[in-house]
Structure 1
Amino acid sequence: MTIIPHLALTHKHFLLLILVALQALPPSVVAAAIALSPCRTSCGAIAIKYPFGVDDGCGAPQFRRMLNCNATDLFFVSPSGNYKVQSIDYDKQKVVVYDPAMSTCSILQPHHDFVLTDIQSAIIPPSSDTVFALLNCSIDSPVLNHYKNLCFNFSDHSCDELYTACNAFRVFHFLTNSSPPCCFTGYDTVKFMSMNILDCTHYTTVLNTDGLRGIGPLDWVYGIKLSYTIPDTGCGRCTQSGGVCGFDTETEGMLCLCSPSSNSTRQCGENLRINTSHTLKL
């Protein structure tokens, strides 16, 4: 009598057998059979689309690890901290973030620097209609002396408005019985000079400044609007084939992610391969 050995298939072996079977099928059949997206498409109420990704290997490699998603909220990650993402406008290529540690018209908080990496400064800097208001500056501040050309009034607003209209900033007026110097400036100023160098004790940021003429500080929108550019990697061809644009986590070369276990270099259904090292966790 022939005795057939007992085959104990583990979960890992079972998945490997499936992968071997899938490799024998035409790519179009595999793409249709495995339609699950390998990348999360939202974080809370905010949609996650290219060039962003919250899972490593998703989106464009230039934006790798810039966004972090916890249970309910999305954050923009920079060297100076995590900034809660309020919204992403994919048509206008704008991201609005808010710093919970920043001073506003209603709350005064210890200052800290807003810092981006060199890559972030190049591909997702604050937009031109985001103004940094440097408050309670020393008379020796560089922006009031050698670099005073960096300060400007936006939409006919002045520093005095902040000191008189905002409860949080009135303390500076009370301490000196006057309005201490301040400066409305752009991101490039704080990019190259820290708050200590600027010799200003606090800052706040206001967005959509082009539309604030005649509107007082109590009704300004406080936050930072980031303006990003999308790298031209041929992502459209991938999405039209039903895939999700991503990249190899080791080489950062572009991949068209067709399922949790397969990807292609350009589009789904072409050059499709089973990937057991990066996208499938056994």
Structure 2
Amino acid sequence: MQFPPTPLLIFNLLILTLHLNPLPILSLSLCRNLCNGITVNYPFGLDDGCGALQYRKMLNCSATDLFFQTPSGNYKVQSIDYDKNTMTIYDPAMSTCSILQPHHDFLMTDIQYAIIPPSPDTVFVLLNCSIDSPVLNHYRSLCFNFSGHSCDELYSPCNAFRVFHLFSNSSPPCCFTGYNTVKFMSMNILDCSHYTSVYNTDSLKGIGPLDWTYGIKLSFSVPDTGCERCVKSGGTCGFDTETEGMLCLCSSYMNSTRECAAGSFTVGGAPSHTPSTSFQTLVLALGALLSMILL
């Protein structure tokens, strides 16, 4: 005489199957890693909880551009080089050889300055300074030689800066300096009407300002938080937005402190895990057993 299967029996059989060999965990990409053609990898993150905690909310992805956010504004990210640990940004309110704009201070937070400061080969150029400017008097040591270039090179060939030469009938003082100068003294204190910035200055010797690379290059450091271990296990590095503790994001419903559990499956080229042959055999056997019970 056959007895109909009870729900409890079927449930127990399924639990036994899963206990013997758990189903693979599917880990979808929880963090966006692309913004308008620019790859965004660790330590940066576009979504809160992604990337390193120190870089939280530094990047903003709009419909058209990727921006680096500081207290003085949003600066368009031109590129990120993960091999050299550099990011190049551009100040849309900055004057260049071809456009003259009202002066604008560039200011970073203390944390930003500590972990992603302007690179040594980035030079800030203070333009149209008065003879009473601090950098021409008490702080004149803050100005330095920039690859053999002079103020005359800026005021003569550049259409945007030529106006300074016309008003004074001579070349007004300028100053080639580093970020520390503009960090501690605003443009009003410096008594210079405009500024521009160029990077890769080591390669600009003998090159006129029309061909300079305008912008700011930042050098970032990568926190040693064990991210490599997380990535190798198939996870994405992030942090808890409440406790701010490091997390290895493994799936939409499972996170780990350091690495994803064995058998995790990640979409997008990460190591995957498929059920073993013995597990498939067990499933078939249980299926046959259930069929016999239901007959």
Q: TM-score, normalised by structure 1?
A: 0.85
Secondary structure of the equivalent of 2:123?
strand
Alignment of 1:250-269 (within 5 A): 250-269=242-261
Report what 2:44 is aligned to: 52
CA distance in 2, matches of 1:33, 1:240: 16
**Paired letter, 2:212:** W
Distance apart, 1:160 and its partner CA? 1.0
Secondary structure of the equivalent of 2:45?
coil
Report what 1:225 is aligned to: 217
Report what 1:195 is aligned to: 187
Distance apart, 1:29 and its partner CA? 5.2
The alignment of Structure 1 onto Structure 2 pairs a total of residues equal to 248
Match of 1:78 among 70, 75, 88: 70
Alignment of 1:27-176 (within 5 A): 32-176=24-168
**Paired letter, 1:240:** K
CA RMSD of aligned residues (A): 1.8
Deviation string, structure 1 residues 41-96 (Cα, Å, up to 9, x no partner): 11110001000000000000000000000123110000000000000000100000
Quickly say closer, same or farther: Cα 1:69–1:25, change in 2 above 3 A.
farther
CA distance in 1, matches of 2:252, 2:169: 64
Contact 2:130 2:192 in 1 (8 A): yes
CA distance in 1, matches of 2:73, 2:18: 47
**Paired letter, 1:64:** R
**Paired letter, 2:86:** K
Deviation string, structure 1 residues 103-159 (Cα, Å, up to 9, x no partner): 000000001100100100110111010000000001010100011011012111111
Report what 1:181 is aligned to: 173
CA distance in 1, matches of 2:40, 2:215: 20
CA distance in 1, matches of 2:139, 2:18: 67
Secondary structure of the equivalent of 1:173?
helix
Report what 1:211 is aligned to: 203
CA distance in 1, matches of 2:133, 2:114: 27
Task: Give the share of equivalent positions with the same residue, in percent.
Answer: 74
**Paired letter, 1:162:** L
Distance apart, 1:25 and its partner CA? 6.0
Secondary structure of the equivalent of 2:27?
coil
CA distance in 1, matches of 2:139, 2:68: 30
Q: TM-score, normalised by structure 2?
A: 0.81
Larger C-alpha radius of gyration, 1 or 2? 2
**Paired letter, 2:257:** T
Quickly say closer, same or farther: Cα 1:29–1:168, change in 2 above 3 A.
farther
